Amino acid sequence: MRPISALTLSALLAGLVACGPTQSPTTVPVTTTQTHNAPAWIDNEEIPDGLAAVGIAQPNPMRDKSLQRTTAIADARTKLAGKMKVRVQNMFSQLNQQVTTAASNGSKPIKNEVMNRVIENVTRQLVDQELAGTSTRAFWTDPTDGSLYVFVVMTRDTLDKALASAAQAQIKKEIAEGEKSLDKALDKLDAAIAASNSMPVQ
C-alpha cells in the first residue's frame, strides 16, 4: 500500500471541509461575556424600588444614533408594559381574594368577566398614559457590534399612584353600570396594591 503524501492528505481534508455542512455563526449573548465589561443591569434588570426593563437596538444603516436610542427606549417600554400588565393582574388577584373573603356572608362574588374587563381597561390606561412617566437610568453600547442597551424604569411610588387612580376609575365605572359586587373593592384597593408589591413580576 502506497503511503499518502502530506500534500495529498491536505487536499483530501480541504475537500471534506468544503463539502461539509455550512454553519452560521452563533451569537453569544453579551450577558455571558465578562470581557465586554457590561453593566450589571443587563444581567439583572430587577430593582427594589419599582419596575425596570432593558431595551436593545441594533445599529441602523444610516448610523443614526438618535434613531437607535429612540428604538432602544421603545423596546424597553414595550417590555415594561408587559411587566405592568402582570403587576395589574397580581393586584386584582389579591383584590379578588379579599373581596371574595369579605363576600362570604352571602354577597355575590365578583364575576370573572367583570374582573377581566377591569384588568384589561386598567392595563390599557396605564400603558397609554403612564409609560411617558418612565425614566432612563442608563445606556450602554456593546463594543463588538454597536448594539445599544437602555435601562428604563418606573418607580414603585409612581406606579402605585397610577395603578390606584386607574383602578379606582374603572371600578367606579363598573359599579355605576350595576356591578354592585365591586362595592367592597374600593375599600380594599390599597391593601391589594401593597400585597402585589411582594409578588414576582416576570
Q: Which pLDDT tens digit goes with each residue over 147-171?
A: 999 999 999 888 899 999 999 999 9
Confidence of residue 103 (pLDDT cuts 50, 70, 90): low
Q: Positive or negative, the Cα torsion across 37, 54, 75, 138? A: negative
Rounded Cα distance, 202 and 192, in Å:
19
Name the pairing type of β-strands 50-57 and 148-155.
antiparallel
What per-residue confidence (pLDDT) applies to 66? 95
Asked, for residue 116, whether it belongs to a domain, the answer is yes
Q: Establish if 27 belongs to a structural domain.
A: no
Does residue 154 fall inside a structural domain? Answer: yes
**Helix runs in the chain, H state only:** 6-19, 40-43, 65-102, 112-130, 156-176, 185-196
The model's pLDDT over 180-202, given as tens digits with 9 standing for 90+, comes to 878 888 889 999 998 888 776 66
Average pLDDT value over all residues in the chain? 80
pLDDT at residue 9 tops 70:
no
Domain membership of residue 85 as a residue range: 36-196
* Dihedral pair phi/psi, residue 152, rounded to 5°: -110, 135
- Take residue 72 and report the three cell numbers written for it: 432602544
Relative orientation angle of helices 185-196 and 156-176, to the nearest 10 degrees: 150
The total number of structural domains that make up the chain: 1
- Asked if residue 143 belongs to a domain, the reply is yes
Residue 138's CATH number: 3.10.129
In degrees, rounded to 5, the angle at the alpha carbon of residue 173 between the alpha carbons of residues 130 and 124 is 30
Within a domain: 13: no
Could you tell me if residue 118 is inside a domain? yes
Measured in whole angstroms, the distance separating CA 9 from the mean position of its chain's CA atoms is 55
**DSSP H or E segment with residue 141:** strand 135-141
Domain assignment present for residue 5? The answer is: no
3-class state of residue 145 by DSSP: coil
CB-based contacts of 65: which residues, under 8 Å, 6+ apart? none
Compute the distance between CA of residue 46 and CA of residue 41 in angstroms, rounded to an integer. Answer: 8
Determine, yes or no, domain membership for 202: no
**Has residue 102 got a pLDDT over 70?**
no
Question: Which grid coordinates are listed for 144?
Answer: 463588538
Question: Do residues 137 and 153 touch, judged by C-beta distance below 8 A?
Answer: yes
